Structure 1
Amino acid sequence: MTENLAAATPRVGSAPGLFVCFEGGDGAGKTTQVRLLTDVLEKKGREVLVTRQPGGTPLGAQIRELVLHGDHVAARAEALLFAADKAHHVDQLIKPALADGKVVITDRYVDSSITYQGAGRELGADEITALQHWAVGGLLPDLTIVLDVSPEVGRERRGDVHDRLESEADAFHAAVRRGYLELASQDPERYLVLDASKPVEHLHAAVVDGIDRVTRGRA
């Protein structure tokens, strides 16, 4: 799935900043790991921009409300709205921050659409990959950390409050999970897959090790 497109798409590479993305199913614990990593990097003197998708800009916040908390959205329209959010987000926030030498940490990026709309909505991973990569101008993270969680555990962690995507059946979330693992298997150097059922401290240590590996590799 998407092997040729992924291989042909440029990543940040030699940009002054560092681009890190957290991905995974709903309830995987991304928010906690984003916070812990931000604390570590700021203590090391790095300037960090934390953002999320959809969201992060005024336009993104409106798109987030539409696609996650509004009325029914057709699957293809949903995919296009997510792509619009990322295109604006990259132009207004991510690229300028990287050019300034900041560390950008985003909660979700293109892989979320490839898995949620491509796999979960069955729109086709290749089609959604092409759309997403076009929207962001080929900008990919230096490291994508996938917190792997089963649909059952994710649902238990989320409790009783669910947005439109969280409300989908376990079969939908199982397809999303398979999509993430397949993407990671195609580009293991850019992905770090972690078992989200492990203790928070264990996951945090693995995340820091992954960041250190990427930093050493770029140096």
Structure 2
Amino acid sequence: MYKKIIVFEGIDGSGKTFHLNEVSKYLNKKKVRFVKFREPGGTINSEIIRNIILTNKSTFKKKTDLLLYLAARNENYENLIKPNINKKVILIDRFIDSTMAYQHYGFSINKNIINTLNNFVLGNLKPNFTFFHYVPIKYIKQNISGEKNKYDKFNKKFYKNVQDGFIKILKKKTNKLIIDSSKTKKYNVEIIKNKINKILNIHD
């Protein structure tokens, strides 16, 4: 069985976290060893940074947020990715594509700076596969759930720009699957499970 880094990407309310959790249940059932975490967040230190970034009281500038995201990622890389790579499947809720989509396409930070920082933290590390959860325009911002954070105040146009950014990023990748979030959860769970079986060589 291949040990892979599998990432779940998409704008807020796209269903990515739900499907990551469904995959983790499935891997447990199949007795596949894995580690999962979210970004920002993951380790204790990264969760502290997450709370600093996303609090509604935050007045940090966009460049400060970027540096905090990368600081949280470094903690995850050192404490979660490096110890488990080639030993366990690694499931990540948001990763480097989210940084580019939100910070560059959403907030217009120079993409070369973002790439340089990611390379500084991760070296040549890249995900093996990405599930991207696409939200049809009319549904953007309709399905955001959970505790509200400062990103919830951004308008529909912001999220459309971010999603368009994801699409531009993913055009260059072959190791991806686009999930239509307007389909039923049951339908998408089956599609993702079937792809997971192929990626990890699991026999159902």
TM-score, normalised by the number of residues in structure 2: 0.90
Matched residue, 2:72: 85
Q: Distance in 2 between matches of 1:134 and 1:190?
A: 23
Please report the RMSD computed on the Cα atoms of aligned residues, expressed in angstroms. Answer: 2.0
State whether residues 29 and 196 of structure 1, in contact with CA within 8 Å, keep that contact through their aligned partners in structure 2.
yes
Structure 1 distance, partners of 2:91, 2:146, is: 28
Alignment of 1:31-180 (within 5 A): 31-69=17-55, 70-99=57-86, 101-150=87-136, 152-158=138-144, 162-180=148-166
- Tell me if the contact between 1:20 and 1:142 (Cα under 8 Å) persists in the aligned partners: yes
Indicate if the aligned counterparts of 1:150 and 1:174 stay in contact, CA closer than 8 A: no
- State how far apart, in whole Å, the 2-side matches of 1:156 and 1:65 are: 23
Count, aligned residues: 200
Aligned twin of 1:4: none
- State the Cα distance separating 1:135 from its structure 2 match: 1.8
Q: CA deviation at 1:16?
A: 5.9
Report the Cα offset of residue 95 of structure 1.
1.8
Secondary structure of the 2:148 match is: coil
The letter for the 2-side match of 1:91 is E
**Contact 1:25/1:151, CA 8 A, preserved across alignment:** no
**Identical pairs, percent:** 25
Equivalent residue letter for 1:48: F
Higher alpha-carbon deviation: 22-31 or 89-98: 89-98
Using the size of structure 1 for normalisation, the TM-score is 0.84
Asked if residue 212 in structure 1 is aligned to residue 174 in structure 2, the reply is no
CA distance in structure 1 between the aligned counterparts of 2:23 and 2:146, rounded to whole angstroms: 28
CA distance in 1, matches of 2:182, 2:169: 20
Shift of 1:211: 2.1
Q: Which runs of 5+ in 2 are unaligned?
A: none
Residue 182 of structure 1: how far off its partner (Å): 0.8
Structure 1 residue matching 2:68: 3-state secondary structure: helix
Distance 2:182 2:133 in 1: 9
Could you tell me how far 1:192 is from its partner in structure 2? 1.2
Query: Is the 8 Å Cα contact of residues 52 and 107 (structure 1) preserved in structure 2?
Result: yes
| CA pair 37-67 structure 1, distance change in 2 beyond 3 A | same
Shift of residue 156, structure 1, vs aligned partner: 1.4
Structure 1: 5+ residue stretches without partners? 1-14
